[in-house]
C-alpha cells in the first residue's frame, strides 16, 4: 500500500530464512539477522544485539518522515532510532497480534507490559486491524494514543487483482472448503481432516499458504495421510482469484489463541473469500462472526464446531448454497477491497497523525 502511494521505503528487520535478505518487494532492505518463531529468549538476544549496533541505521533513517514499527520488539528499536536520528518523524506502531505472554499474569507478562507501556507513550499513532483489539486490549490498557483501524482488505492495485469475478464453481457435492493463508491452527486442521474423511468424498479440503513449522513440523505427512485433503503450497496475491474460484467455502476459523488473538482478529481470508465469491465459515462469538453477521453473509457454526460443520454439510442443498453465495454480492465493494486513493490516505495519515487522543476511534478505509 505504501509503495502504491509512492512512498520511498526502507525495510529494516529480522529474517527467518537461512540466507540474508537484500531486497523485499523491490525495497531497500537492511537485514538485522536471523530469528526464530516462538524462540523468545533468542529473540531477546537478537534485539539486544541490534540495539547495540543501532548506529548502522543512521544513514537509512535519515530524512524519514515516518518510522513504522510492525511489532513490539521492532518498536523498541524504532523508538531509539527516531530519538537519535529523526526526532521530527512520526512514530507509528502497527499491532496486528497481541502476544500471549502480554496477557499472562506471571513475571514475564508483567515485565513486557511495563516495557510496552513505556514505549507506547512515545508513539504518535497505533494501527490495528480489528475493533475488538481496541475494546479488549488497547482500551483496558488505557493507551492514550490515536488509533486507526486498517482492515485486511483485498488490495485492488495488486497484480492480477481486479473487480470481483464471481466463482463459476459448480455446486456440490463434492463440496469444497478452502483454507488459505497462515496455516497455524492444529485444531482447524483436525476438524477439516475429520470432516473430509467422514464425508467419504462428498467434501474436499484445499489448503494453500505457509504452515507454521512450530505448529506443524509434520505438515506434509499429515496431509498425505488425510483422504480428500490437498495442499498446493504458498501463493502470491495474483493467485487469489484461482484459489477461491476452486472452492465453495472458505475456512475463516482460528483456534490458535482462542479467547485472545483468534477471537479478536479479522483475518485476510474473510475479505478475500467474500470478494472472490467463496462463502466464509466462522464460529460463533468471535469478531469474524460479528463481521459476517452484520452483513448477513457467511456460515456461523454454533456450539461444538466439529458437530456443527458436519450437520451443516449433511443438510446443505444446492438452493441453500446458491443463497449463501448470492448474498456475498450485496456487500459493498468498499467493505472488501481498497484501491489507490485509500493507499494515499493511509500515507497521509501516517505522516500527519493526530496530536490528541479521541475516544471515538477512526475507521479508515485503506
Which SS3 state, helix, strand or coil, does residue 174 take?
coil
- The average pLDDT across 37-61 equals 76
- The average pLDDT across 243-269 equals 89
Residue 167 predicted with pLDDT over 60: no
Cα–Cα distance, 267 to 258 (Å, whole number):
14
Q: What predicted TM-score, i.e. pTM, was given to this entire model? A: 0.86
Residue with cell 446458491: 322
Contact 321, 171 (CB under 8 A): yes
Contact 61, 78 (CB under 8 A): no
Q: Which residue has the higher pLDDT, 54 or 166?
A: 54
182: which strand partners? 210
Listed range (39-48, 170-179, 240-249, 307-316) with the worst mean pLDDT: 39-48
Contact 168, 245 (CB under 8 A): yes
Fold of 175-335: Rossmann fold (3.40.50)
What stretch(es) of the chain map to CATH 3.40.50.2000?
Answer: 175-335
Cα–Cα distance, 52 to 30 (Å, whole number):
15
Residue 106 predicted with pLDDT over 70: yes
Residue 355 predicted with pLDDT over 50: no
Residue with cell 466463482: 167
Give me the pLDDT at residue 335, please.
94
> Average pLDDT of the chain?
87
Give me the pLDDT at residue 42, please.
66
Fold of 10-155+339-363: Rossmann fold (3.40.50)
Cα–Cα distance, 250 to 292 (Å, whole number):
13
- The average pLDDT across 112-131 equals 91
| Residue 163 pLDDT level (bands cut at 50, 70, 90) | low
- The average pLDDT across 118-141 equals 92
- The tens digit of pLDDT for each residue in 4-40 reads 999 999 999 888 778 888 888 888 898 888 776 655 6
Residues contacting residue 131 through CB under 8 Å, at least 6 positions apart: 149, 287, 361, 363
| Residue 166 pLDDT level (bands cut at 50, 70, 90) | low
Residue 348 predicted with pLDDT over 50: yes
Amino acid at each position: 500500500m505504501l509503495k502504491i502511494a509512492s512512498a520511498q521505503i526502507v525495510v529494516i528487520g529480522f529474517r527467518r530464512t537461512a540466507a540474508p535478505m537484500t531486497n523485499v518487494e523491490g525495497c531497500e532492505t537492511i537485514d538485522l539477522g536471523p530469528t526464530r518463531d516462538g524462540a523468545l529468549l533468542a529473540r531477546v538476544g537478537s534485539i539486544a544485539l541490534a540495539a547495540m549496533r543501532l548506529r548502522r541505521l543512521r544513514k537509512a533513517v535519515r530524512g524519514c518522515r515516518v518510522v513504522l514499527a510492525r511489532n513490539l520488539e521492532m518498536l523498541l528499536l524504532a523508538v531509539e532510532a527516531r530519538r537519535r536520528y529523526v526526532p521530527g518523524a512520526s512514530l507509528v506502531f502497527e499491532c496486528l497480534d497481541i502476544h500471549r505472554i502480554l496477557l499472562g499474569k506471571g513475571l514475564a507478562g508483567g515485565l513486557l507490559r511495563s516495557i510496552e507501556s513505556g514505549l507506547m507513550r512515545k508513539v504518535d499513532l497505533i494501527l490495528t486491524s480489528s475493533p475488538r483489539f481496541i475494546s479488549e486490549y488497547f482500551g483496558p490498557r488505557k493507551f492514550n494514543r490515536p488509533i486507526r483501524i486498517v482492515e485486511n482488505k483485498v488490495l485492488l492495485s495488486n497484480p492480477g487483482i481486479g473487480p470481483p469475478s464471481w466463482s463459476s464453481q459448480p455446486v456440490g457435492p463434492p463440496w469444497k472448503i478452502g483454507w488459505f493463508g497462515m496455516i497455524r491452527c492444529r485444531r482447524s486442521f483436525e476438524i477439516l481432516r475429520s470432516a473430509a474423511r467422514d464425508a467419504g468424498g462428498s467434501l474436499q479440503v484445499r489448503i494453500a499458504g505457509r504452515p507454521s513449522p512450530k505448529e506443524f513440523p509434520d505438515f506434509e505427512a499429515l496431509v498425505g495421510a488425510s483422504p480428500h485433503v490437498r495442499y498446493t503450497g504458498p501463493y502470491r496475491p495474483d493467485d487469489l482469484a484461482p484459489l477461491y474460484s476452486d472452492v465453495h467455502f472458505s475456512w475463516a476459523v482460528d483456534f490458535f489463541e482462542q479467547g485472545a488473538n483468534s477471537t479478536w482478529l479479522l483475518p485476510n481470508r474473510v475479505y478475500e473469500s467474500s470478494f472472490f465469491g467463496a462463502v466464509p465459515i466462522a464460529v460463533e462469538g468471535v469478531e469474524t462472526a460479528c463481521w459476517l453477521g452484520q452483513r448477513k453473509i457467511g456460515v456461523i457454526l454454533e456450539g461444538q464446531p466439529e458437530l456443527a460443520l458436519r450437520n451443516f454439510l449433511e443438510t446443505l442443498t444446492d438452493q441453500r448454497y446458491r443463497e449463501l453465495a448470492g448474498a456475498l454480492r450485496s456487500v459493498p465493494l468498499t467493505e472488501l477491497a481498497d484501491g489507490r486513493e485509500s493507499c494515499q490516505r493511509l500515507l497521509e495519515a501516517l505522516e500527519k497523525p493526530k496530536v490528541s487522543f479521541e475516544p471515538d476511534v477512526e475507521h479508515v478505509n485503506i
